[in-house]
């Protein structure tokens, strides 16, 4: 039954019906919490609920749920699992949306990158995307770091992805937009591109 609720919730989230999505995620969580043993994928439900609250602009609630998901992932998979890096990225994006959370966002983006560099090949696309997250964090207040990390991202993505892959195309497009000094458009655009809700 919880799988059915989850599928319905995912569908509502995909079409931005966040109130309905939250309702079905919570129904699934109630069932899971009543199980005698901890359901191994419960972190995904907390994560997806957090994504709904983030999309609605409720950043405090979103952070609490991302932190709950992070706590479970650390306990089940260990401190340096790729899913933990995903949680750090998700939290960083929320902190980045809050003026008082900029330093925390930077710290979390760096943690995510460090975990991926330990666990993955140097040219893995997830490392490229991690560099792009850092690049976009530094834009527009530190353009030098933006270029440094975005060029690192493109270098990796060019090595492992087809020329027309959406991640590579978008990275190059963002560089062009920044060079054209279309700052407002590029910042909004890349915030939509680089955030990868982990599912």
User: 164-189: per-residue pLDDT in tens?
Assistant: 999 999 999 999 888 887 554 555 55
Handedness of CA 5, 92, 163, 141 (dihedral sign): positive
Distance of alpha carbon 176 from alpha carbon 59, whole angstroms: 31
Stretch 45-69: mean pLDDT, rounded?
96
- Cα Rg of the chain (Å, integer): 18
Which pTM was predicted? 0.87
Distance of alpha carbon 13 from alpha carbon 197, whole angstroms: 11
Classify residue 3 as exposed, middle or buried by CB count within 10 Å of its CB (0-12, 13-18, 19+).
exposed
Residue 100 DSSP label: G
Cis amide leading into 140 (omega within 30): yes
Please, which pLDDT band fits residue 40 given cuts at 50, 70 and 90?
Answer: confident
Within 29-81, strands assigned E span none
195/65: higher pLDDT: 65
Report pLDDT digits (tens) over 84-117. 999 999 999 999 998 788 899 999 999 999 999 9
User: Which tokens sit at 47?
Assistant: 């994560």
For tokens 């599928």, the residue is 7
Q: Over 70: is that where the pLDDT of 60 sits?
A: yes
Distance of alpha carbon 167 from alpha carbon 159, whole angstroms: 12
Please, which pLDDT band fits residue 1 given cuts at 50, 70 and 90?
Answer: low
Q: Over 80: is that where the pLDDT of 194 sits?
A: no
Please name the helix (run of DSSP H) or strand (run of DSSP E) that holds residue 69, with its range, or none: helix 59-77
Residues 6+ away with beta carbon under 8 Å from 191: 136
Residues 6+ away with beta carbon under 8 Å from 103: none
């Amino acid at each position: 039954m919880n799988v059915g609720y989850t599928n319905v919730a995912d569908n509502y989230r995909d079409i931005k019906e966040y109130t309905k999505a939250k309702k079905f995620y919570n129904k699934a969580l109630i069932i899971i919490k009543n199980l005698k043993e901890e359901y191994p994928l419960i972190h995904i439900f907390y994560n997806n609920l957090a994504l709904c609250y983030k999309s609605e602009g409720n950043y405090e609630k979103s952070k609490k749920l991302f932190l709950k998901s992070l706590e479970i992932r650390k306990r089940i998979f260990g401190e340096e699992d790729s899913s933990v890096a995903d949680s750090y990225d998700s939290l960083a994006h929320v902190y980045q949306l809050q003026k008082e959370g900029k330093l925390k966002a930077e710290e979390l983006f760096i943690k995510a990158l460090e975990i991926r560099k330990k666990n993955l090949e140097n040219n893995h696309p997830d490392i490229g995307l991690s560099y792009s997250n850092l690049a976009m964090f530094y834009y527009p207040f530190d353009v030098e770091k933006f270029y440094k990390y975005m060029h690192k991202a493109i270098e990796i993505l060019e090595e492992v992805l087809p020329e027309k892959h959406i991640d590579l195309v978008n990275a190059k497009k963002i560089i062009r937009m920044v060079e054209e000094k279309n700052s407002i458009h590029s910042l909004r655009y890349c915030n939509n591109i680089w955030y990868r809700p982990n599912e």
